[in-house]
Amino acid sequence: MPEIAIRTQQLTRRFGNLTAVDAIDLQVTAGQFFGFLGPNGAGKSTTIKILTGLLAPTSGSMELLGVDFAANPVEVKRQIGVVPEGMGLFERLTGAEYLQFVGRMYGLDRATTQRRSEELLEFMQLADRPKTVVADYSHGMQKKLALAAAVIHGPRILFLDEPFEGVDALAAGALKALLARMTERGTTIFLTSHVLEIVERLCSHVAIIHKGKLVAQGSLEELRAGISGEENTKTTLEQIFLSIVGQDGTQRAQLEELSWLM
Amino acid sequence: MADVAQPVGILEQIRLVAGLRWRILRNSARKKSNRLDLIGLIVIGFFGSAVVIALSFAFYAAAHAFLFQGRANWMALLFWGIFLFWQAIPIIVAGFGANFEFRTLLRFPLNLRAFYIIGLAYGFADFPAISSLCWLLAMTAGAAVARPGVLPAMVLIVAAFALLNVTLERLIGSWLERLLARRRTRELFVGLFVLSMISLNFIGPLMSRYGAWARPLFQRLLPYFSWLPPSLAGRALAAIAQLQPTAFLMSFGFLLLYLVLFSALLWRRFAAQYRGEELSETAAPARAAIRPLAAKGDGPDRLNLLSPQVAAIVRKEFRYLTRNGFAYLTLLSPQLLIIIFSMNFAGKHPTVGGRGISPDMFFPGMMGYLILILMAPAYNSFAFESRGIQTYFTAPLRFRDVLLGKNLMLISVLSLDIMLSMAMLVWRVGLPSAHMLVATCAAIVFTVVGQLSIANWSSISFPRKMEFGQMRGQRQSGMAVLVAFATQILLGGISATILFTGKWTGSPWLPAEAFAFLAVLAVGGYNASLDPLTRLAERKKESLIEALCR
C-alpha cells in the first residue's frame, strides 16, 4: 500500500464568522506532484499555511508522513520544505548567508550546508552576486532563492505557494525540471498556482477548493472522467476547473448589469 | 460606451483624502493589537498635547509682554522658535505621522494644481504643524490683547508665516524623499542624522570653553539672520507696533518673496512627482561571475557550544547588526554620552571644576542610563525580521531557540559595550569603591536579565515592523513603549532604592548582596519564562506574522 504523505481529517479554519477552510479531507500519496487549485479567496493559501505550521487549525487533524502535526510539529517540520506566500526571506542576508542560515536551522552540518548552498546558488543562477543582500534582489531572484532554501535539507514533502509567479521563462523551465526530478526520487510536491497550464503539465493529481470546501480531488484522468462521464484526454484542466467552480448564473447576471462598461 | 470621469473640485478631493485617512485609522482600530497600540499612542499623545497647551500659554504670555512693554522687536524670537520647531521636528518625529503615501494619489485624475494644494493641505495635518499653529494663534491672541491695533497686521503676518513654513517643510520633505530613495543613502543619512543629534550635546561644554571667543563671531553673523523669514515676520510686526507702515511693507514684502520662492521650488518638485519621477531602486548591475563562497565554512564551528539552530540565529543576528548603521550608532552612543556627561557633571574636565558627582554615584547612574538606552530595542526584537519571521515557524525548532539566539547576541553586544563604557568611565571619572563596583555589576545582571523576559513577552505580544535606514513610518508599538517605560521605571526604582538603602544603613556591601540575590532570581525567572513564551509565540504566531509581513 503506498505511503500517505499528507492526510487531513475535517480540517477547518475560521476567522471570526468566515470559514476559510471548511472540514476538508485531503489525501496525498507520497511521490505525487499534487496541484491545489481554487479561485481567489477559496482557501488555498490558508490550507497551505495550516499544513506548514504557519496557522493553527480551528478543528480537525492532519498527519504528514504518518506523523500527527499537532503532537510532534518539530519532527514534521524536519521533513518538509516550504516556499510560503511572500517567500519568508531574511532580506538583510546575502543569498549564500540565507541558505547557510536555513541549512543550519534544519540541522545540517556546516560543510554540507556550505556545499549545498554553492550548488543551489549555481543552479538557480544566483552565484554571480555574492555580496548582494536579498533586499536588492529582483522578485524573480527572490523566488528562486526561496525555492533553493526550501529544498536545501532534502525535504520529503515540498509545499510551494505560487512558485512560478514572477520567474522568467528560462528559470521556470529549470525549476520545473528540478521539481520533476524531485518527484521521480520520491519527494511529494504540493503546489498552488493560478496558471492552470503549468499545473496540468506538472501535476499528476489535483484537488480543487471552492469557498473553503474541497469540491474535487483525484488524478487528472479521474477528474476528466468525472465531468464528461468518460475519460476524454482533450478536456483541459481549465475546462474541468471552470465546470466545477466557474461562472455561475449569478456572475453572468452581474456581467449583464455592467452594460455601461460595454 | 464608457462614461468620461467628471472633474472633481479640489475641496471635494481634500475631503475624500481626509475621509480615506480617517477610514484607514478607524479600520486599523478594529484589530485588538492595533487598538492596544492606539491606546499607547493616546497616552503618549496626551502628554504631547499637555506640552503644546502649556507652551501655548507661554507664547501668549510672551507675545503679550513684548507688545505691552514696547519690546515688539523681541517677537522675532518667538517666530524663530516656531520656525525651528516646524522645520526640524518633522524630520525627527516623522515616525509619528500617519503612514500615508501621498504619492499614491497620483493614479487618480488629479491635475497638478490639485495635487499641489492637497499636498500642501496635508502638511498642516502633522503634529509639528498643528502645534505650531496653536502657538501662532496664542501669539496672535497675546499681541491683540496687548495692542488691539496690531491684530489685522498680525493675522496677515501669521497667515503668510504659516503658509511659508508648511511650504518649506513640504519642500524639505520632498527633497529628502528624493535624496533618500536609495537604500544606502538612506542608511548613511540616518547615521549622520543621529550623530548630529548626539553632537548637539557637546554645544553646552563647548560654549562654556570657547563661548567667549565665539561670541563676537556670532554677533557679526546676527545681521544676516535678520533677513531670514522668522526675523522678517518679527520685524514686520514691530514696524506696525511702532506705526512705521513703510518698514512693515518692506519686511512683509520680503516675507512674501520667500513664500513665492519656496512655492515655486515646491511646485517644481511636485511637478516632477506628478510627471512620474521614478525614485525606486533598480536591481544592482550584475558583477562578473566569481565563486560565491570561500572554503572557510569547513573549519570548526566557533559556536559549537550552542545547538545548530541557536548558533544560526546568533550568526544571523550578528550579520543584521553589521548591516544596520543605526545599531552601530546605538552601540557607539554610550561612550559618547559618557564623555558628554562627564564633561558636564563629573570627572576631571575643566568645565566641572572639581565639583562633580563622585564616581560612587556617577558609575551606577551612568550604567543605569546606558542599559536604559541599549535595552530599548529588545522590546520589539522582531522589528527587522520582516517576512523572515515565517522561517521561525516553518523550521524544525522551538521558539525558545529563537529567543535564546536573539538574547545571546544582545547580551554579547551589551557586555562588550558595557566593558568599553566601564573603561571610559575609569578614564574619565575614576574607579568607584570595590563594593559599589560589585553592586553595579550585579545590578547590571539583574536589570538586563530581568528585562529580557519582559522584553521577549513584549516582542511577541506587540510586534511592529521596522525598516533599516528608514525614518518615515518608523515607530514602536505604543504598548511596547509603555511596557518598556513601566519596566524600566520599576527596575530602576528597585535598584535606586537598594543603592540608597546601603548608603543610609551604613552597610556598604548590602546593595552588592541584594543585587546578587536578585540577579540569581532574574536568571532563574528568565530560564523559567522560555517555555511559556514559546507557547505564547505559538498562540500569537498569526498576529506576529501578520504584523511583520506587511
Q: Could you report the predicted ipTM of this complex, rounded to two decimals? A: 0.78
Instruction: Give the integer Cα–Cα distance in Å for B171 and B259.
Output: 12
C-alpha cell of residue B26: 478607524
User: Would you say B244 and A97 are in contact if contact means Cβ atoms under 8 Å apart?
Assistant: no
Query: Half-sphere exposure (CA, 13 Å, Cβ side) for B474?
Result: 16
> Residue A93: which of B281, B290, B316 has the nearest Cβ?
B316
Average pLDDT, rounded, for chain A:
86
Residue B119, min C-alpha distance to chain A (Å) = 30
SS3 B171: helix
Q: B386: nearest CA in chain A?
A: A90
Is residue B37 pLDDT above 70, yes or no?
Answer: no
Pairwise CB contact (< 8 Å): B391 & A102: yes
pLDDT digits (tens, 9 = 90+) for B458-471: 999 988 888 765 55
pLDDT at B93: 55
pLDDT (mean) for B162-185: 82
Could you give the angle at which helices B399-428 and B434-461 cross, rounded to 10 degrees?
150
Residue B483, min C-alpha distance to chain A (Å) = 27
Is residue B374 pLDDT above 80, yes or no?
Answer: yes
pLDDT at B33: 60
pLDDT digits (tens, 9 = 90+) for B228-256: 999 999 999 999 988 899 999 999 999 99
Is residue B312 pLDDT above 60, yes or no?
Answer: yes
Instruction: Give the integer Cα–Cα distance in Å for B43 and B52.
Output: 14
Q: Which of A61-70, B420-429, B527-536 has the lowest mean pLDDT?
A: B420-429
Output B536 or B12, whichever has higher pLDDT. Answer: B536
The sign of the dihedral angle between the CA atoms of B348, B352, B355, B361 is negative
pLDDT digits (tens, 9 = 90+) for B507-517: 889 999 999 99
Instruction: Give the integer Cα–Cα distance in Å for B380 and B458.
Output: 7
Is residue B344 pLDDT above 80, yes or no?
Answer: no
C-alpha cell of residue A201: 503539465
Is residue B442 pLDDT above 80, yes or no?
Answer: yes
The band of B216, judged by pLDDT with boundaries at 50, 70 and 90, is confident
B 70-89 → A contacts, CB under 8 A: none
B319 contact A CB<8A: yes
Instruction: Name the percent of chain B lying above pLDDT 70.
Output: 79
B 291-310 → A contacts, CB under 8 A: 291-293, 295, 297-298, 301, 308-309
Is residue A151 pLDDT above 90, yes or no?
Answer: yes
pLDDT at B326: 67
pLDDT at A172: 83
Is residue B324 pLDDT above 70, yes or no?
Answer: yes
Q: Which of A15-29, A168-182, B49-63, B134-148 has the lowest mean pLDDT?
A: A168-182
DSSP secondary structure string, B418-461?
A: HHHHHHHHHHHT----HHHHHHHHHHHHHHHHHHHHHHHHHHHH
Is residue B473 pLDDT above 90, yes or no?
Answer: no
Instruction: Name the percent of chain B lying above pLDDT 90.
Output: 33
Instruction: Give the integer Cα–Cα distance in Å for B256 and B346.
Output: 50
Q: What angle do CA A54, A58, A62 make, to 5 degrees?
A: 65
Residues B343-356 as b/e (b if ≥16 CB within 10 A, e otherwise) read bbbbbebebbeeeb
C-alpha cell of residue B407: 538574547
pLDDT at B247: 92
B312 closest CA partner among B299, B321, B301: B301
B418 closest CA partner among B444, B446, B437: B444
Is residue A251 pLDDT above 70, yes or no?
Answer: no
pLDDT (mean) for B294-321: 76
If you average pLDDT over each of A114-118, A162-166, B1-5, B193-197, which comes out highest? A114-118
The band of B27, judged by pLDDT with boundaries at 50, 70 and 90, is low
Contacts of B264 (CB under 8 A, 6+ apart): none
pLDDT (mean) for A63-88: 90
Other CB atoms within a 10 A radius of the CB of residue A168 amount to: 13
DSSP state of B200: G
B391 contact A CB<8A: yes
CB pairs under 8 A between A and B: 135
User: Chain B residues with CB inside 8 Å of A111's CB?
Assistant: 297-298
User: Chain A residues with CB inside 8 Å of B394's CB?
Assistant: 52-54, 77, 80, 82, 84, 88
pLDDT at A160: 92
User: Chain A residues with CB inside 8 Å of B292's CB?
Assistant: 95-96, 118, 121, 127, 130
pLDDT at B291: 43
Contacts of B65 (CB under 8 A, 6+ apart): B71, B142, B146
pLDDT at B282: 46
> Residue A121: which of B281, B292, B545 has the nearest Cβ?
B292
Residues B219-252 as b/e (b if ≥16 CB within 10 A, e otherwise) read eeeeeeeeebbbbbbbbbbbbbbeeeeeebeebb
Output B527 or A176, whichever has higher pLDDT. Answer: B527
> Residue A107: which of B295, B301, B308 has the nearest Cβ?
B308
Other CB atoms within a 10 A radius of the CB of residue B216 amount to: 9
pLDDT digits (tens, 9 = 90+) for B252-287: 999 999 999 999 999 998 888 887 765 555 444 444
The band of B82, judged by pLDDT with boundaries at 50, 70 and 90, is very high
pLDDT at B2: 47
pLDDT at B470: 57
A117 closest CA partner among B57, B248, B312: B312
Pairwise CB contact (< 8 Å): A90 & B388: yes
The band of B528, judged by pLDDT with boundaries at 50, 70 and 90, is very high
pTM over 0.80: no
The band of B97, judged by pLDDT with boundaries at 50, 70 and 90, is very low
